[in-house]
Amino acid sequence: MGYVHNTGMKQFVPPTIMFGKTATWVVADGAVAGTLAYHADATDESADCIIPIPLPSNKGAQVGAYLKAIDIDFEILIAACDAVSAVINKVTRGADGAVAVVASQAFSYDTGHDTAAERLTLDQHRMTLTLTTPIWLDEDEYIYVVLTFDKAATTTIDVLAAVADFTLRV
Mean pLDDT of the chain: 95
| Interval 22-40: pLDDT, tens | 889 999 999 889 999 999 9
**Confidence at residue 95, expressed as pLDDT on a 0 to 100 scale:** 85
**CA–CA gap between residue 102 and residue 129 (Å, rounded):** 18
**CA–CA gap between residue 71 and residue 73 (Å, rounded):** 7
**Confidence at residue 1, expressed as pLDDT on a 0 to 100 scale:** 57
Return the higher-pLDDT residue of 99 and 49. Answer: 49
pTM: 0.95
| Interval 126-148: pLDDT, tens | 999 999 999 999 999 999 999 99
**Confidence at residue 138, expressed as pLDDT on a 0 to 100 scale:** 94
CATH number at residue 11: 2.60.120.260
Burial class (CB in 10 A: 0-12, 13-18, 19+), 67: buried
| Interval 59-80: pLDDT, tens | 988 999 999 999 999 999 999 9
> Based on the structure, what is the number of domains in the chain?
1
- Strands 123-136, 107-109: pairing kind: antiparallel
Residue 149 pLDDT class (50, 70, 90 cuts): very high
**Confidence at residue 102, expressed as pLDDT on a 0 to 100 scale:** 96
Q: How many CA atoms lie within 13 A of 60 on its CB side?
A: 8
DSSP 58: B
Residue 3 pLDDT class (50, 70, 90 cuts): confident
Domain extent at residue 49:
5-169
For residue 72, give every residue at least 6 positions away whose Cβ sits within 8 Å of its Cβ, in sequence order, or none: 51, 86, 125, 126, 127, 128, 129, 145, 147, 159, 161, 162
**Confidence at residue 86, expressed as pLDDT on a 0 to 100 scale:** 98
